Amino acid sequence: MSLGIDDDQSDRNGAGSDLITGAISVAAILMFVGTGSSVLSKTLRHYLEGAAPADRTLVIALLLNVALILFGWRRHRGLSNEVRIRAAAEERAQMLASRDPLTGFLNRRSLAEEGAAMFVRGQKRRKAMAMMIIDLDHFKTVNDMHGHAVGDALLRAAAGEIAGAMPPIALTARLGGDEFACAFLFDPQHPDLIERIAEKLIAQMAQPFEAEGLRLHVSCSVGIARSDFDCQSVDSLMRSADIAMYVAKKSGRNRYAWFDHSMERELQTRNELENGLRTAIPRGEIVPYFEQQIDLQTGKLIGFEVLARWEHPTRGLISPELFIPIAEETGLIADMSLSLMHQAFTAARDWDSSLSLSVNISPVQLRDAWLAQKIIKVLTETRFPASRLEVEITESSLFDNLSLAQSIVGSLKNQGVRLALDDFGTGYSSLAHLRALPFDRIKIDKSFVISLNESADSAAIVNAIVSLGESLNLPITAEGVEDEAIAARLKALGCAKAQGWHYGKPLSVSGARRLLAERRLLVQAPVEPTIESELPVQRPDRMAG
């Protein structure tokens, strides 16, 4: 194994001097054999029989020979020691290079190598090869909440479970992060064996783990591909199992999915969305829609929540549930969100000054130390008053870097922007989170509100959140109000604001303008030129009322 240029150099130097040492030792031994016996016998005879002494020079040469032989022998011992140490180091380096140090599993590269050999073996023996990609669910949350030491302990424990669930001949690998892979050969007539392994593994992983004195709950999603149906190489087997794992995750986690070719088309669609999104933002295809927010006690319109929509040139309107996660993963969310705000604030310039706007801020955006400045810049450019803006964040925003989130929120609040905690009830719903940031209101997640009158559990949760809000002096907004009965119940509970389809579906810019014109909530816009901005602005055709 090559350990870099310096080692090559020292290797060459070492080999050269070894050769010289060897040659000297051999010459010394030859000389010793040639001269040694005559000098020794002469010297012995000189002492025993008083014969003439051996030639002095020869004696000195002989002693020198002995010294050289001793030197050669020591050097030989030194060298064999060195070789042993070097071999051990090389073995260790090989181990480190092929194994994941945390779990001792193979790493991605060596799985590909050993997997390829297994693939060939399988073909020879008429066996099929199964590849399982295993990804832990919610690992990131555990890591963020409890730190890396706990995260590492959990990964080691998970690796133990995986190794225990697999057949003894299986290759087990950690591909990175919380993603693992296992491969083994099986009888193609009996794929049920693989399902049993996957089921056992999933059941085991759903049990709480004990790590660093904590009880941790994770689960895993597994994607499985088989060589005889799906793929002609280990690479494509891994890719297929990965796609299947992604599908298992998307359909609710804590489950397995076999790969099938329709999944590939779905992935292709996702990739198309991702590529499309890159051009959609500068082209102004991502536009704000406006959902009415109502004061429950008076029934008056008090503002709108801004919701993203993708007006796709060929596919029509695309839901944010489809493209926001992609925008978050690709980092496009930051530009997208600022562009939406720019469009929404510009559109709202001639709306009645009593109307507020609520915008959704993704947890990804709260990792940007300049977020507050960027939002304030958009407010300044569009001359929209900060006091009429509310930002909505979810509890998951508080895990990543709370102190950064606190400083961003602090800057925004200094300007008069208000802060709402969105989707309360779905995540951790922790009092500590409510205290971590200076929230101005709580939004109850729509899943509880929609079922308020049908499910006793939902009613109990809504009740509890309303009383929590009262005791913390935080007004409550309920979203997902779909009918009058829900609105009446919320009003009786003392909920402050409501939004939902009962009041209307989200409206486009022109739809919102039409509604406001009917209600005489449009004012004469000041005819000042707006400051030029690099961000895409509303296209003129959408500005028309």
Residue 324 in the binding site for ligand C2E (CB under 6 A):
yes
Residue 480 in the binding site for ligand C2E (CB under 6 A):
yes
**Cβ-based nearer residue to Ca ion, 129 or 490:** 490
**Cβ-based nearer residue to ligand C2E, 143 or 337:** 337
**The one-letter amino acid at 73:** W
> How would you classify the pairing of strands 389-393 and 418-424?
parallel
- In terms of Cβ atoms closer than 10 Å to its own Cβ (0-12, 13-18, 19+), residue 78 is exposed
Structure tokens at 453: 């009158």
**Nearest distance, CB of residue 485 and ligand C2E, angstroms:** 13
**Cβ-based nearer residue to Ca ion, 209 or 345:** 345
Which span sits near ligand C2E by CB under 6 A: 6-14, 271-279, 313-321, 536-544?
313-321
**Nearest distance, CB of residue 301 and Ca ion, angstroms:** 18
**Nearest distance, CB of residue 363 and ligand C2E, angstroms:** 9
Tally of CA atoms within 13 A in the half-sphere of 534 that contains its CB:
3
- Taking the C-alpha atoms of residue 27 and residue 68, their distance in angstroms, rounded to an integer, is 9
- Taking the C-alpha atoms of residue 207 and residue 219, their distance in angstroms, rounded to an integer, is 8
230 binds, among ligand C2E, Ca ion, none (CB under 5 to 8 A by kind): none
DSSP-derived 3-state class of residue 171: strand
Residue 321 in the binding site for ligand C2E (CB under 6 A):
yes
Q: Please state the separation of Cα 417 from the chain's center in Å.
A: 31
If you ran DSSP here, which 8-state letter would residue 427 be given? S
**The one-letter amino acid at 309:** R
397 binds, among Ca ion, ligand C2E, none (CB under 5 to 8 A by kind): none
Tokens 């783990």 sit on residue: 209
Among positions 422, 493, 498, 507, the unique one binding ligand C2E when judged by CB under 6 A:
422
Residue 418 in the binding site for ligand C2E (CB under 6 A):
no
292 binds, among ligand C2E, Ca ion, none (CB under 5 to 8 A by kind): none
- Taking the C-alpha atoms of residue 115 and residue 234, their distance in angstroms, rounded to an integer, is 6
Residue 325 in the binding site for ligand C2E (CB under 6 A):
no
| Helical spans, DSSP H, in 415-482 | 431-436, 446-450, 456-472
**Cβ-based nearer residue to ligand C2E, 45 or 377:** 377
Residues 6+ apart with CB under 8 A from 143: 150, 151
538 binds, among ligand C2E, Ca ion, none (CB under 5 to 8 A by kind): none
Provide the mask over 334-363, with x wherever binding to ligand C2E is found by CB under 6 A and - wherever it is not: ---x--x-------------------x-x-
Binding site for ligand C2E (CB under 6 A): 291, 307-308, 319-321, 324, 337, 340, 360, 362, 422-423, 446, 450, 479-482, 500-501, 506
